[in-house]
Amino acid sequence: MSKYWLLLKQYLKFAAQRLVLGSILLLFVSPSAASDPLLTSIFKKLSEESLYSYPMYSGGRTEVLQYVRSQDAYAELYGETEFKALSASQSDSYAGVGFYLEKGKSGQLICLLMHGGLDQNSGVQSGDVLWAVNDEFVGGRSVPYVASKLRGVSNSYVKLTLLRGVGKLYSVNLARKLYSAPSVYLDSSSGIPRIVLQQFTKDTRKKLATILHALGRQAIIIDLRNNSGGLVWEAARCAELFFPPRSRLFSVVSRDGSKTAIASAGWKASTARIFLWQNAYTASASEAFISAMKQRNDVVLVGSNSFGKSEVQKISKLTKNAYLKFTFARVVHHYGTITNTGSLVADVPLPHRAPDQMYYLKTISLLN
């Protein structure tokens, strides 16, 4: 009897070894996931390009997607409808509620008020977490999906439930309005020209170059408050407008540790002093832009510490109707003072949520 028991133990050991090897060869994908082409595409893409490594994991589609998000807070899977909604969200005008949405480090949906968007009477503040739209809980949903719920017909109403601080939920009913939301525009209403950089999109450099050319040589403000980032390569193209060719701007590090230095290939704008405005919601590509600009001796950074997000995401098409957003690199800043959490420290600090007037008064005092 003991002989048969020994043979059985040896067989089980052999079978277990084959099972582990088979799992590895399937690129972490369990038999249930291996039969799903979408999950196979996800893990193949992540194993090749993601900044993070993914240990072996078993499960069906829901479990695997939750696992991916637990490793990468910024990872999202888009269907065709969501991908089109994402493209629409980058348009210069739309009917909505006057704020952007950005995924936080814990996956929460953070509201970032647009310049010229919601007024103070709305009750919504930058930094509030969106909890529900028309009583539909939106935790864990993608940014394009939720953004499509916020947009609609002008003058129609939408109910929002938001979280401020710890455990303070409140609701507001907002009328959708037509908003003009260019990625960059010039505000000449004060004594110093203020260039507002709201997002880095594919045409931001072209618009910024036009504004700089028209202004000529004079002191300017570049306002990056509530700028959650966008295209990091476009941020580099915008920064290179202020430097001679071959100036080092910042570096991008990929999964294998290789470092790519991003250098200027543009022309140097003729400007006097430059004042950069930032706040706690200045993040990602906008932080890369600021860090690059800080190598200029005539640049002064005003505001509170920035968000501190060095990770860079991209969107890859997996199948005919599926797109994966994931982190593939991180930015290394070469200039400016940086905290241990990755935030950029202002040369001239201002309180969190300081109003426009405080920023203007401080900038004027520095100019004089």
Least confident of 160-164, 258-262, 275-279, 290-294: 258-262
* HEC assignment per residue over the chain: CHHHHHHHHHHHHHHHHHHHHHHHHCCCCCHHHHCCHHHHHHHHHHHHHCCCCCCCCCCCHHHHHHHHHHHCCCCEEEEHHHHHHHHHCCCCEEEECCEEEEECCCCCEEEEECCCCCCHHHCCCCCCEEEEECCEECCCCCHHHHHHHHCCCCCCEEEEEEEECCCEEEEEEEECEEEECCCEEEECCCCCCEEEECCECCCHHHHHHHHHHHHCCCCEEEECCCCCCECHHHHHHHHCCECCCCCEEEEEEECCCCEEEEECCCCECCCCCEEEEECCCCCCHHHHHHHHHCCCCCEEEEECCCCCCCEEEEEEEEECCEEEEEEEEEEECCCCCECCCCCECCCEECCCCCCHHHHHHHHHHHHC
Provide CATH 3.90.226.10 ranges for the chain.
Answer: 182-313+328-367
**Could you tell me which residue, 193 or 31, shows the higher pLDDT?**
193
Mean pLDDT of 110-131: 82
**Distance of CA 172 to CAs 98, 133, 158, 200, Å?**
13, 10, 8, 30
pLDDT tens digit string along 332-357? 988 888 888 889 999 999 999 899 99
Instruction: Give the pLDDT confidence score for residue 57 in this predicted structure.
Output: 66
Name the fold adopted by 92-179.
Pdz3 Domain (2.30.42)
Count CB atoms within 10 A of the CB of residue 88: 13
Instruction: Give the pLDDT confidence score for residue 272 in this predicted structure.
Output: 77
pLDDT tens digit string along 74-114? 888 888 888 887 777 666 667 888 888 888 877 889 998 88
**Could you tell me which residue, 10 or 179, shows the higher pLDDT?**
179
Instruction: Give the pLDDT confidence score for residue 34 in this predicted structure.
Output: 54
Does residue 14 carry a pLDDT above 90? no
Instruction: Give the pLDDT confidence score for residue 6 in this predicted structure.
Output: 41
Does residue 25 carry a pLDDT above 60? no
pLDDT tens digit string along 47-83? 889 998 876 666 777 787 888 888 888 888 888 888 8
Residue 236 pLDDT level (bands cut at 50, 70, 90): very high
**Could you tell me which residue, 168 or 159, shows the higher pLDDT?**
159
Q: Please state, for a pLDDT cut of 90, what percent of the chain lies above it.
A: 43
**Could you tell me which residue, 245 or 158, shows the higher pLDDT?**
158
Domain spanning 182-313+328-367, CATH class: alpha beta
Provide CATH 2.30.42.10 ranges for the chain.
Answer: 92-179
Sign for the CA dihedral angle at 125, 130, 133, 134 comes to negative
Instruction: Give the pLDDT confidence score for residue 28 in this predicted structure.
Output: 39
Residue 4 pLDDT level (bands cut at 50, 70, 90): very low
Instruction: Give the pLDDT confidence score for residue 11 in this predicted structure.
Output: 37
Mean pLDDT taken over the chain: 83
**Could you tell me which residue, 117 or 308, shows the higher pLDDT?**
308
How far apart (Å, rounded) are the C-alpha atoms in residues 129 and 277?
23
Instruction: Give the pLDDT confidence score for residue 53 in this predicted structure.
Output: 81
pLDDT tens digit string along 172-206? 999 988 877 789 999 998 889 999 999 999 899 99
Are 286 and 260 spatial neighbours (Cβ–Cβ below 8 Å)?
A: no
